[in-house]
């Protein structure tokens, strides 16, 4: 069991899930959380990702859709037993798709930093029945994603990242 599993199962998880489902959190978190994660991840040379204390997380590096310049963003993920990762483009329930999802659609070859290790991956947007099956597991994994989806008219993008 990881530290993230322990927190998700702990008594405080319901409080964290409630807070993370609020509109105020959706307004503040997209700026504050990635900035803190990036700074600490950089300072610890990839050994610490603070948001991963709540949910497992990776730092995704993918070329920008327009510029081709590398863009790195810390993201919560749902690791799969097969060694792949599920990324959810919820954008905390904000109206637009997050930029990293657009980048992955244009450049599916990317790198994730997982537990301090850089791993080359290929991203695939999940659709149809496959997406629905994974979405059900995502909601069991972190129920606030249902609140995020209810808040927006777009379908939240879900990607599977597999090692190259």
Cα distance between residue 97 and residue 127, in whole Å: 16
The whole-angstrom distance between residue 151's C-alpha and the CA centroid of its chain comes to 18
Helix axes 144-151, 128-141, angle to 10 degrees: 130
pLDDT at 42 over 50: yes
Q: Which fold has domain 3-163?
A: Pnp Oxidase; Chain A (2.30.110)
The whole-angstrom distance between residue 17's C-alpha and the CA centroid of its chain comes to 15
Answer yes or no: pTM beyond 0.85: no
* Residue 126 pLDDT grade (very low, low, confident, very high; cuts 50, 70, 90): very high
- Its sign, for the CA torsion 7, 137, 56, 147, is negative
pLDDT at 39 over 70: yes
Cα distance between residue 48 and residue 133, in whole Å: 31
Q: What is the pLDDT of residue 52?
A: 66
3 state SS for 123-158: EEECCHHHHHHHHHHHHHHCCHHHHHHHHCCCCCEE
Helical H runs in the chain? 3-9, 13-20, 23-43, 99-106, 128-141, 144-151
CA distances to 1, 16, 93 from 26, in Å: 29, 13, 6
* Residue 84 pLDDT grade (very low, low, confident, very high; cuts 50, 70, 90): very high
The residue extents of the domains of the chain are: 3-163
pLDDT at 28 over 90: no
Tens of pLDDT, residues 44-81: 776 777 666 668 889 999 999 999 999 999 899 999 99
């Amino acid at each position: 069991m990881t530290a993230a599993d322990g927190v998700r199962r702990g008594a405080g998880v319901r409080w964290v899930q409630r807070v993370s489902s609020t509109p105020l959190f959706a307004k503040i978190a997209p700026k504050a959380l990635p900035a803190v994660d990036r700074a600490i991840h950089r300072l610890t040379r990839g050994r610490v990702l603070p948001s991963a204390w709540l949910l497992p997380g990776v730092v995704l590096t993918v070329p920008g859709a327009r510029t081709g310049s590398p863009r790195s963003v810390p993201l919560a993920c749902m690791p799969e037993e097969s060694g792949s990762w599920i990324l959810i483009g919820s954008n905390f329930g904000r109206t637009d798709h997050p930029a990293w999802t657009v980048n992955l659609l244009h450049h599916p070859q990317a790198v994730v930093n997982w537990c301090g290790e850089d791993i080359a991956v290929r991203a695939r947007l999940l659709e149809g029945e496959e997406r629905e099956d994974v979405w059900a597991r995502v909601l069991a994994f972190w129920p606030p994603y249902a609140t995020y989806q209810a808040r927006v008219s777009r379908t939240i993008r879900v990607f599977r990242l597999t090692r190259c």
